[in-house]
Structure 1
Amino acid sequence: MTKTGTALTPETLFARETLWQSWLDVEAALAEVQADMGTIPQWAARDIRAAAKLETIGAAALEADIRKTLAPVMSLTRLLGKAAGKAGDYVHWGATTQNVMQTGRILLIREADRAIRGEIARAMRRLASLAEDHAGTVMAGRTNRQHALPITFGFKVAGWIEEMGRAVERLDDGGKRLFSLPFGGAVGAMHAFGPDGRELNRRLAAKLDLRELLVPGRTINDIFADYIVQHCLMAMTVERIMAEAYLLMTEEIGELSETLDAGTVGSSTMPHKVNPKFVVRVLAEAAELRGLAASAMETGRSSHEGDAATNQLLSSVLDRAVPLSWRMTRGFADTLHRIRVDPDAMMRNAELSGGVIATENLMMRLAPKTGRASAHDLVHHVLAEASAGGATRAEELLKNDTISKYLPAEEIRAALMPAAYCGDSRDIALKAAVMARDLAGKLDGETN
């Protein structure tokens, strides 16, 4: 929520009116801290706070003044000073433009960060349910886009959960660095504040619930770049999860689908066709966000104690990255809630190999009798020489004299059952469900 009580959205986060109000909030907080320190009168701080509302100074008037000055904070403090009356003499006392603009942006990003964490929490709760509900739902594991060993869908989701957990850890670290107070005057050494500079910085940081910086200068772009890159890495994870879900929605695979609302049209030309609608949007947003990592790192190449060129680029990248991350995580959670699982299709696909997806199990049962390498070669050669028609590949294994010499038919059949050879899939899925719910609870606690 902004100070005016309006709920922020990805679309309004960095709108000019939102930014202007964030600058007014910083100016009012500065005045209150300076009044507490005796730098300016208490009555002046009260009057500045009362006037520090965009509706008071007038958005149209501010826009007109900015067109003349090309110095947005100068225009804002000029109009704030007029609105505050006599207290206007104490507005922006010792501050500089970049102090106000960067601090205002950080405060807005923190609001967006809370909303993004709320969306991630929603996604994690859904992933927890999928992992738990499908802890025992057998499907084909796939490596190099070929069937590997049988797993469960819950196990696959467990991998998504743990990777999202790592993404959140990186966001945590980036936020710890970003949510700092870059308020050090013209070059970061607190010149205009005299001997009270460090104390002012400490108190203002505490008031705004931000971390202190030893050098609160104007070339701290690295902490913004760091934060953006963490979101880009999260986008990489979201994109991987959604791309895998999208692939499993392929008609030839058909293991997942989206639940669409009544009246949704699948295709404008083919009446029978039902295209995925939600996963594709998240994929596009994730790819766009991931692509901003390089631009973010360009912003850190600022020079000396201040560099307007890199700051312009930074504002542009932030304007795109943070709202995009918010939309992406919201779409991610929405799409996960629409995913429908088809266990029958998963089992049918797991059996496409002719009953031999679990041949590792057969090999390991033979290994104590023949040696592992010999067991591998034996099974491999039987399958390689199996006839194209007639007997299934499993039947070829059953009728092989060498294998039958070591194992009875019942044990060979049991070894080839996909559902009996899913490793720790079920246990891992259930543990991941707990992990996801714990993380969702932590994120919910941070957003409340």
Structure 2
Amino acid sequence: MLAPVRAGTRAEGVTSDQAWLRAMLEAEAALARAQARAGLIPGEAAELIARTAAGLVVDVADLARRARDSANPVVPLVSDLREAVRNAAGPGDGRSAGDIGPSAGKPAGDTGESAAGDEPGSRAGRVEPPGGPARLVHLGATSQDIMDSAAMLVATRAVAVIVADLDEATRVLADLARRHRDTPMAARTLGQQAVPTTFGLKAAGWLMGLLRARDRLRALRLPAQLGGAAGTLAALTEHEALRHQGRAPTRPGAESARPDLETASAALRVVRLYAEELGLAAPPAPWHAERSVVAELGSALAAAASALGKVATDIVWLAQTEVGEVAESSKGRSSAMPHKRNPALSVLVRAASLQVPAYASVLGAAGEHERAAGAWQAEWLPLRECLRLTGGAAETAVELLAGLKVFPDRMRANADLTGAMLVSERLSVHYGRDAVERILRDDGPPEVPGELLDPAQYLGAAPELVDRILAVHRPAAHQSKEEPR
């Protein structure tokens, strides 16, 4: 379905099918590099895997069809990568187990996945030479390790785009708040004129919401995922134990070392190096079935979308024909009525803001035991839509705010429509509520000093509140410029 709010945006680009595919391949390459740095596999094997992963071309639609047999795309992707590494290594690259590493002669099941030729959804495979570097693809990992790490890579890149747009939106809002610090207008509660305020304070309120949302997104430290078949890192500890023994089993059932504290620490080091290679946080433990990471990400995206939606919703109401206090720069065309200038950008942002919380509600659902059956798989599409819609809304909001036209004269004229009633609260302070109700019921202007009736003289602390919010924005904006992108 067409989604204009994200069409052509940077957020759409960094969350495309190809972006997810490349992220999965990056995760596989990072795993090999981390294992080489830890001394678990040869450096030349890791280089071959990483180089092959970077150049691998995969038909995404075909991958999705083959993924039906395993309920996730990693299984057929690993099969493709192994085959590509095998072909890149060449027929003469089969080495002894001692040359290539402790995994050389291990049964394929010891890595947490089936052999290349036996994997569901794989192409017709052939037996690879013992010790071939293809055997080291996906070593010690499980499908969820790669998919979750790829999701966090994609999310990290999309969040960076969103934060950059929120930075720009807050800059424009700060300028609006500063310029209209003292511009009087009618505040509205429950859709009715209430008391005077300033447009600067309204813009500053929008600014405060976006600042909170941006800071929450910026504070996220999304982690890599690596735990092996059931989150115990058993395969990695076993490979490490065998490496210390200087031998590898050559047949199923061969004697293996019992993992000890040293081998477990070495496996945890691989996790740290893996996260480092990906540029993600190193998790204290695998989080296959503990999905608060994804739930928090979804919640932060929903909060950002809602903050953007507040801006858009207010602009829709302020731009009504009968109000006319602001106007968009968009053409806002109607297919039936040539005279209309619909608030098209605001509509796009608001539509996105209403969808993101619904998608986010799917994220982080509790799963069964150590691997969820359906709840994990259900996260992929909603997570991408949360990233895309929030990113599209943020980029669209920048365009909306940068071109927003403000009409102070119309704001004052609308405030005058209510007459003395707009400052009835002020009159109640001076004369009491009962007396004010009698004054307002009388025909003609109330017999009170004229300065009490001027909306511009009853702004409370509105201008000072603008200053306070701008003071919060200034150090945040300075920090934003200093942070590397």
Name the TM-score, length of structure 2 as normaliser: 0.77
C-alpha spacing 1:133/1:422, structure 2 compared with 1 (3 Å)? same
Aligned to 1:407: none
Structure 1: state its 5+ residue gaps. Answer: 1-6, 367-374, 399-411
CA distance in 2, matches of 1:382, 1:61: 73
Instruction: Give runs of aligned pairs for residues 85-164 of structure 1, distance below 5 A.
Output: 85=89, 86-164=132-210
C-alpha spacing 1:359/1:308, structure 2 compared with 1 (3 Å)? same
Cα shift readout 1:126-166 (whole Å, capped 9, x = no counterpart): 10011001001110112222222211100111111112222
SS at match of 2:447: helix
1:32 matched to 2:36: no
C-alpha spacing 1:169/1:69, structure 2 compared with 1 (3 Å)? closer
C-alpha spacing 1:172/1:11, structure 2 compared with 1 (3 Å)? closer
Aligned to 1:324: 389
**Counterpart selection for 1:273 from 340, 343, 350:** 340
- Residue 12 (structure 1) shift: 3.7
CA distance in 1, matches of 2:183, 2:269: 60
SS at match of 1:206: helix
CA distance in 1, matches of 2:9, 2:279: 19
1:207 matched to 2:277: yes
1:166 matched to 2:223: no
Cα shift readout 1:335-362 (whole Å, capped 9, x = no counterpart): 1112111000100111112244223333
CA distance in 2, matches of 1:307, 1:378: 67
CA distance in 1, matches of 2:376, 2:206: 36
1:380 matched to 2:437: yes
SS at match of 1:49: helix
- Residue 61 (structure 1) shift: 9.8
SS at match of 2:188: strand
CA distance in 1, matches of 2:284, 2:48: 31
CA distance in 1, matches of 2:167, 2:430: 43
Aligned to 2:58: 59
CA distance in 1, matches of 2:212, 2:63: 47
1:396 matched to 2:397: no
Q: What number of residue pairs does the alignment pair up?
A: 404
C-alpha spacing 1:351/1:94, structure 2 compared with 1 (3 Å)? same
Name the TM-score, length of structure 1 as normaliser: 0.84
**Counterpart selection for 2:232 from 179, 189, 194:** 189
C-alpha spacing 1:142/1:62, structure 2 compared with 1 (3 Å)? closer
SS at match of 1:333: helix
CA distance in 2, matches of 1:17, 1:76: 13
Instruction: Give the superposed CA RMSD.
Output: 2.4
Contact (CA 8 Å) 1:19, 1:104: kept in 2 or not? yes
Contact (CA 8 Å) 2:66, 2:76: kept in 1 or not? no
Contact (CA 8 Å) 2:163, 2:217: kept in 1 or not? no
CA distance in 1, matches of 2:63, 2:368: 32
- Residue 294 (structure 1) shift: 2.6
Judging by fraction of residues, say which structure has more helix: 1
Aligned to 1:70: 69
Cα shift readout 1:257-296 (whole Å, capped 9, x = no counterpart): 1123xxx463343333322221111111111113223323
163-172 or 187-196: which moved more? 163-172
- Residue 209 (structure 1) shift: 3.0
C-alpha spacing 1:337/1:447, structure 2 compared with 1 (3 Å)? farther
- Residue 246 (structure 1) shift: 0.6
What letter corresponds to residue 380 of structure 1 in structure 2? E
What letter corresponds to residue 433 of structure 1 in structure 2? L
Contact (CA 8 Å) 1:363, 1:376: kept in 2 or not? yes
What letter corresponds to residue 301 of structure 1 in structure 2? A
CA distance in 2, matches of 1:327, 1:335: 12
- Residue 25 (structure 1) shift: 1.1
What letter corresponds to residue 389 of structure 2 in structure 1? L
